[in-house]
């Protein structure tokens, strides 16, 4: 049966309430064979109760109730052995307010939703923690200034306001990262590609980082690297995250180079190395996930997740390996991505 290919349990009952079709997933969920289910009334087959002991069939009365119903919303119901199942149903009628001709039910295990709920709760807790740290600084300094303004000198006030400004910038950046992560999750990351020289874009980012840290940084361009079509703002964001991550975990040092791919692929390759402890091989599959952190100097945990989203949005690849000096090496390949309309000219 085609129904057997579906991952969720499916049950079909006719106008008289007799079950006519089930799939193998439903057999497994209910712990019964097809021969024990087909041909029996729906009320006898679907022995599911809520936490108060009310049965699904008695509560919803699919063949009775409101004559304009066409769907029964998903809800949690339990088998006699306590397994949670998520049940929804469609009520098919030949005409509006007509009699129900067929009930089609979809049933799935509740563990998937429980896992999703736990993931959502962990996400909310992590976001709240990340936002609370800079917000606590902003709140503390502003409250102190409001209460004791006259007790501080101009230099002290300036220092406190600068701290507030830095924390506000940190909050703004974190919110931007959260929004970008949400766009990546939903497949709505916007890219506006145009021809760029990767080495020039990278050097522009390094100049900005150097101005803030006082540490000179330069990109080493190896050979004649092809022009690529990419979103310059997103590429700059990518480079910023990778380089700052390298400096954070590499004792402030980072080596940056741009070169041609060393295989048959086109495009350009960005390589960023640090002098830190490196990433163990068993951990490398996790560093591009949301909120992954390593060491005591971890940032928000979103930087490399956003890097992967930007790279994949450009149909490129990003990977992690060992640097020659023992630290980590992040390698980003971005293809040329030249628009087809230009190829035809």
Structural domain including 95 reads 2-109
- Of 169, 186, 203, the domain-final residue: 186
Give the domain CATH number at 167: 1.10.287.130
Q: Are residues 213 and 289 in the same domain?
A: yes
SS3 51: coil
| Mean pLDDT calculated for residue range 21-48 | 93
Q: Are residues 149 and 31 in the same domain?
A: no
Contact (Cβ atoms closer than 8 angstroms) between residue 310 and residue 260:
no
Q: Are residues 216 and 164 in the same domain?
A: no
- The CA distance from 26 to 72, in Å, is 18
What pLDDT digit, counting tens, does each position of 153-193 carry?
999 999 999 999 988 988 888 888 888 988 888 888 889 99
> Is 127 a residue whose pLDDT tops 80?
no
Higher pLDDT, 130 or 90: 90
Task: Report the pLDDT value the prediction gives residue 236, as an integer from 0 to 100.
Answer: 95
Give the domain CATH number at 6: 3.30.450.20
> Is 51 a residue whose pLDDT tops 90?
no
- Of 109, 138, 162, the domain-final residue: 109
What pLDDT digit, counting tens, does each position of 93-126 carry?
988 888 999 999 999 988 766 666 676 676 677 7
Q: Is the dihedral of CA 300, 302, 307, 308 positive or negative?
A: positive
Q: Are residues 168 and 100 in the same domain?
A: no
| Mean pLDDT calculated for residue range 211-239 | 92
Q: Are residues 213 and 339 in the same domain?
A: yes
| Mean pLDDT calculated for residue range 252-258 | 86
Q: What is the pTM of this model?
A: 0.62
Task: Report the pLDDT value the prediction gives residue 282, as an integer from 0 to 100.
Answer: 83
Q: Are residues 105 and 127 in the same domain?
A: no
Task: Report the pLDDT value the prediction gives residue 112, as an integer from 0 to 100.
Answer: 67
- Of 186, 204, 232, the domain-final residue: 186
Higher pLDDT, 130 or 145: 145
Q: Are residues 227 and 330 in the same domain?
A: yes
Number of structural domains found in the chain = 3
What is the rounded average pLDDT for all residues in the chain? 88
- Residue 234 structure tokens: 């997103």
Alpha-carbon distances of 182 from 172, 179, 192, rounded to whole Å: 15, 5, 18
Q: What percent of the chain has pLDDT over 70?
A: 91
Q: Are residues 162 and 283 in the same domain?
A: no
> Is 200 a residue whose pLDDT tops 90?
yes
Contact (Cβ atoms closer than 8 angstroms) between residue 334 and residue 316:
yes
Q: Are residues 180 and 256 in the same domain?
A: no
- Residue 154 structure tokens: 């101009």
Contact (Cβ atoms closer than 8 angstroms) between residue 56 and residue 48:
yes
């Amino acid at each position: 049966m085609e129904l057997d290919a579906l991952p969720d349990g499916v049950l079909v009952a006719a106008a008289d309430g007799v079950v006519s079709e089930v799939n193998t997933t439903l057999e497994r969920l209910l712990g019964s064979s097809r021969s024990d289910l087909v041909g029996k009334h729906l009320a006898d087959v679907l022995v599911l109760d809520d936490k108060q002991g009310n049965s699904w069939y008695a509560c919803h009365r699919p063949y009775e109730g409101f004559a304009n119903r066409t769907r029964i919303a998903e809800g949690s119901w339990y088998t006699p052995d306590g397994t949670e199942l998520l049940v929804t149903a469609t009520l098919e009628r030949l005409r509006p307010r007509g009699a129900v001709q067929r009930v089609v039910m979809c049933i799935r295990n509740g563990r998937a939703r429980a896992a999703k709920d736990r993931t959502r709760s962990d996400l909310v807790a992590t976001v709240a923690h990340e936002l609370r740290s800079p917000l606590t600084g902003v709140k503390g300094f502003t409250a102190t200034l409001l209460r004791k303004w006259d007790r501080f000198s101009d230099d002290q006030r300036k220092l406190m306001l600068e701290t507030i400004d830095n924390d506000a910038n940190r909050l703004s950046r974190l919110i931007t990262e959260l929004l970008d992560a949400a766009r990546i999750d939903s497949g709505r990351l916007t890219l506006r590609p145009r021809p760029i020289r990767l080495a020039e874009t990278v050097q522009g980012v390094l100049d900005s980082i150097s101005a803030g840290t006082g540490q000179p940084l330069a990109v080493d361009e190896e050979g004649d690297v092809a022009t690529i079509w990419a979103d310059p703002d997103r590429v700059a964001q990518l480079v910023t995250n990778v380089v700052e991550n390298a400096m954070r975990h590499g004792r402030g040092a980072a080596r940056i180079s741009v070169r041609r791919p060393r295989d048959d692929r086109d495009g350009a390759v960005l390589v960023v190395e640090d002098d830190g402890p490196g990433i163990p091989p068993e951990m490398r599959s996790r560093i591009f996930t949301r909120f992954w952190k390593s060491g005591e100097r971890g940032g928000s945990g979103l930087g490399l997740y956003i890097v992967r989203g930007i790279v994949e949005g450009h149909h490129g690849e990003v990977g992690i390996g060992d640097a020659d000096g023992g630290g980590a090496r992040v390698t980003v390949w971005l293809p040329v991505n030249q628009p087809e309309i230009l190829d035809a000219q």
